[in-house]
Structure 1
Amino acid sequence: MKKGEFIAYVQEPSALKADDISSLQNILSEYPFFQSAQLLLSKVFQQEENINFEKQLRKSAAYAANRKRLHSLLFSDAKPNEVAAKTETEDVSLKSKTEAPSVQEKTPSEEEDLLNQQILTEAISSSILTEVDERVDEINKESQQQEFQRKEEKAQPTVSKSSFDENRSHPFSEWLSHFSEEEAKTKKVWQAASPETQETIKRFTKVNRPKQEFYSASKMAKLSVQEDGDLVTETLAKIYVAQQNFEKAIKAYEKLQLKYPEKKVYFAAQIQSIKNQLNT
């Protein structure tokens, strides 16, 4: 279909023929949102009494920006001067006191127009209901997502950032207090976690403990003097300082510098503090 022909059909839809159906369908297969083509296809289906008219009518109602225009297009060609079938009236003398009221029968053309109007009304209503249902589904999904996010935020406790600087030198009592606060925060997070999350953490952190051997005083004495360089902790280094075992304390802090380079400045300050005590 050429551009000029299409414009002519838009200006005079009643000029559409059955041969134009395939051309309009080809246009809509490439441009399904072309509402003018949708309206013209509905019109030619109506004129040709095509079996797909009702289906195409619903589709046109969905794509139409102005459904009044669709209604006007489909029903503007009704012939107003069409002669109605004449009906003869006979006077029937009845013995009853009143005469039965005469019933005016509708012509086939009027019945067809009424049926078409009902089909159009149902199509438009169905399209509107479909749009409303889709919008309601979108609103429900958004509400469910927002409710889920609120529950997730409520389940996660807010952990305030501590002003304690681990890279600076602090008294031993402040370090113990800091570790106690961290342990309390960890406990709160654990309690706030769901049972499924706790079970998962337990499963991945579970350690198969070896069978406990019979207590041996000699073995325990040997183990007490053994040191594992990979298990050096700040607590162990602080214990060495408290015991005035400064040499081991310095070695422990040096290992911690290698193990935790981000706290290198803090450990260096501790080593310098120990050396100052040795020099006094």
Structure 2
Amino acid sequence: MDTSVFYKQYVNAAPQELAPNGYVLQDLVRRYPWFSLGYLLLFKALCGMGGDASLSQSEKTAAYIYSRKKLYFILQQTRKDFETLAEEEFFTLDVPEQEPILDTGAAADKTLSAAADKTLAAAADKTLAAAADKTLAAAADKTQSRSIGTASLSDAGPLEFVLDIPKNRTFYPGADYFGKEQMASVSLDVTTPIDRFISENPRFTQALKRAGENLDTSEQDAPPALKDDEFVTETLAKIYAAQGYHKLAIDCYAKLILLYPEKSAYFASLVEEIKQKSNN
């Protein structure tokens, strides 16, 4: 993901706006566990979902940010927003629209003569008869066209919709580190305070030169797995299954079976469907 796009869509977004992208932020902090801003945005997304979803993430997020007051402020502000929204929905009344009452003009009716009434009535009858004939003709044409279309569809046979089932995805972490060549090409801008501080300290410049040496990447190829205290929902499991993360989806359903034994048969049937799709 591009840095500018990330800061534009996520950093300044409200908790309710981040709620639909919670699974993206959860995958982001799993790939980059040192990314403290990602933990803060994930906490905001869980606050935007409402309920107690954010409580399981609050303790983990507190270890990565500089002040817990920030978490308290986000949580309290989100709860106030939900209360305000609930009050607005409760006090909003759906008032049916009333049709305006037209003044028939009693004074004008008195001035009309009997001859004018007969003439207008005859003209209205002719107009209504012509309009009725046109309406019946148009209805007959539509009925005939619909019958022809129905016959053609019945001759063509039943329609089939083919859904592409995503295969089991392979994880490629990618840019989890920078190699020696990338670090060697880094140029410091002495006009900025941070780069000037690094250039004036030899131990930092030597660390940049040694970056990328003897780097062990064997653990980065392993696919992510759910932790024991990780927050899971049925919606999250469905998202993992739709994106091809079958192993994570099955792990989510396994935890849900332990949390909700009364729905164990339902979750077990979903696990069997995922296994059949992954085997095919």
TM superposition score normalised by structure 1: 0.26
Higher Rg: 1
TM superposition score normalised by structure 2: 0.26
